Amino acid sequence: IFIATGTFGFALGPAISSQITERFGLEKLPFACIIGIIAAFILLKNTPKLSNLNIEKPKASITEAIKKIFSNKPVFILVIASIVKSFVVSSFSVILPFYWKNIGFKVSSIGTVLLIFMLAGACGILLSPVIEKKIGIKNVFYLSLLSVLPLGIIFYFSNGKGIIGLTSFVLIGFVSFLAVPVNMALAQKLMPDFKSMISGFIGGFSWGIIGLILPVLSLLAEKTGMMNILLAMTFIPAIFAYFIKYLPDETV
């Protein structure tokens, strides 16, 4: 629920910013930060101090924890799986708005489509535990990683337009987020002494790595074509799916 509602909040970003930009102009967009300031104030007033909570001291230093995490093969695979998922989501949500703007989409329409894309991802997160109980944790990963490729091919040949193109785009959002909760839960289960560190790697480190790659990806998109680079991105999850067989056969 925590991850899903965070994704929902993230989904509101492009929808709200596009509406503000289209109605009042780009120069008024900074006023949107008022929402963040209010949220920060609420957190400041209501979040308890760590010193007041009964929290166990770390059992290892940060360096030792990182070494143990990356030396654990299944956990390392889970971290890479999180990076691959973030790669697909970021590629589509960052590059596509420019493509759609070039072919005549309104700014508000682009914001709405991105909202639906992320909402589909939030639905995937909420349904993930239910699906995992029915088909098993490995099959959730296979479904999430392998289905991106055919959906990406459909999106490519539809030129990202029409019902078929937009539906495939939304489904990419759904399946890309589908394995997020089981990814996090399994990683924490495999390394219970480093749950907080694992959460940081799965939930934050992966997005940071993609942030470093995006400028290069954007340059390639300019050189080779936006749709071509997005199609290439959909092959990465399908190829990485091979390594899921090395995950343990257990439930979370």
**pLDDT, tens digit, for every residue of 162-216?**
899 999 999 999 999 999 889 988 988 888 878 878 888 887 788 788 888 888 8
Can you give the pLDDT at residue 58? 63
What single-letter amino acid sits at 174? F
Can you give the pLDDT at residue 248? 86
Distance from the Cα of residue 147 to its chain's centroid: 16
Selection from 71, 68, 52 nearest residue 60 by Cα: 68
List Cα–Cα distances, 100 to 14, 163, 172, 213, in angstroms. 14, 14, 17, 22
Give backbone dihedrals phi and psi of 58, rounded to 5 degrees, phi first: -55, 140
* Cα–Cα distance, 90 to 250 (Å, whole number): 30
Selection from 159, 170, 158, 183 nearest residue 116 by Cα: 170
Q: What is the pLDDT of residues 35-48, one digit of tens each?
A: 889 999 999 999 88
